[in-house]
Amino acid sequence: MVRYGIIGCGHIAKKHVEAIRAVDGAQLVAVCDTDPGRMEAFLEEGVEGYTDSADLVSRSDLDVVNICTPSGLHPDLTVQAAEAGKHVLVEKPMALTMAEADRMIQACADNGVKLSVVHPNRFRPAIRELKKRLERGAFGKISHANATLRWNRNQSYYDQAPWRGTQAMDGGVLMNQAIHNLDLLLWTAGDVEEVASYQATRLRNIEAEDTSVSIVKFKNGALGVIEAAVTLYPRNLEESLSLFGETGTAVIGGPTANWIKTWKFADLTDEEAEEAIRQVEADPFGMPGHQCLIQDMTEAVRTGGEPMVTGEDGRRALGLVVACQTAAERGEPVSMDEVLKGGGCQ
């Protein structure tokens, strides 16, 4: 049995609890929050509550710590868990700066524990099908790719908690909402070479940006556009990932990127393409992404293998966000290599 403890009992922690309960061989044994009232919904037989994270990570029977706090708290809690010999599954973004991400990765390496970052969208059926097509070379040479997030987070959302919308704990639309889509962009279109970006705080009364538009150049020569905003009226409109190549065109979209909107390939007939779309539409959500991650971490702990979404993967997605922020701040294109080496906004 792989035993889990959760630090941070806010909204996202509920998904972690449901996922742990659904995975054979995983067991929730502890939760922690500085507000005892937030823990009440999670306390049941066999689950102990703590208000100090140091007490939770010191448990000898604990294997994995799931970090579900505001983003700015992730680094210190990850290091604390790693130094206590616990594996770590940390919510996105893993950190708000490259230096903090590196500190987390190093702490886990120094203490011989695993680090996985919550990027559950990789497990969506439509995204998995897209990845298979890429691995088979069905797109040929990629010309360009788009990652689009057009969502609504109204002012009442930001007013619910004092950390939301701040630079220190939230990080803005790219960091807090669009980073999942950026992870998918990197996972499918490849590593980025250079970024140019504009960002603005147009409609929300927050410190961080609520709107961002960036142009990226990939190392393979392809171009890309990243559009992200939480200003859409009156509700979420679209989350999409689009890839365009010499022998293939694919758009995964909908309010969340769960549905195949366009699926055209030189090696598929129209009937075969339609069948692929129907198969995804029959179960567009599949196994919940958090459950996939818990299942994966449980197996990694048992076998000694590496998680499917590693700390380095989380760092790569964070790096693209930091590159966009840095390019917007400087008003000029930014080298991705510079950012990944620790340059850029910190």
The CATH number of the domain holding residue 183 is 3.30.360.10
Residues 93 and 161 in one domain: no
How far apart are the C-alpha atoms of 223 and 232, rounded to whole Å? Answer: 26
- The domain in which residue 265 lies consists of 121-287+319-329
Q: What is the pLDDT of residue 133?
A: 98
Distance CA 125, CA 145 (A): 19
Residues 115 and 261 reside in one and the same domain: no
What count of other Cβ atoms lies within 10 Å of the Cβ of residue 309?
26
pLDDT at 314: 98
pLDDT score at 343: 73
Query: Is residue 339 assigned to a domain?
Result: no
- 276 within a domain of the structure (yes/no): yes
At residue 220, the pLDDT reads 97
Q: What is the pLDDT along the chain (346 residues), one digit of tens a residue?
A: 999 999 999 999 999 999 999 999 999 999 999 999 999 999 999 999 999 999 999 999 999 999 999 999 999 999 999 999 999 999 999 999 999 999 999 999 999 999 999 999 999 999 999 999 999 999 999 999 999 999 999 999 999 999 999 999 999 999 999 999 999 999 999 999 999 999 999 999 999 999 999 999 999 999 999 999 999 999 999 999 999 999 999 999 999 999 999 999 999 999 999 999 999 999 999 999 999 999 999 999 999 999 999 999 999 999 999 999 999 999 999 999 999 988 766 5
Same domain for 197 and 81: no
Say what the alpha-carbon torsion angle 117, 118, 121, 125 is, to the nearest 10 degrees.
Answer: 90
**41 lies in the same domain as 180:** no
Question: Does a structural domain hold residue 12?
Answer: yes
Judged by DSSP in three states, 290 sits in: helix
Query: In terms of Cα–Cα distance, which of 297, 267, 46, 14 is closest to 139?
Result: 267
**For position 345, what pLDDT does the model report?**
66
- 112 and 204 in a common domain: no
Phi-psi category of 25—alpha, beta or left, where left has phi over 0 and alpha has psi -120 to 50?
A: left
What pLDDT score was predicted for residue 104? Answer: 98
User: 197 and 165: one domain?
Assistant: yes
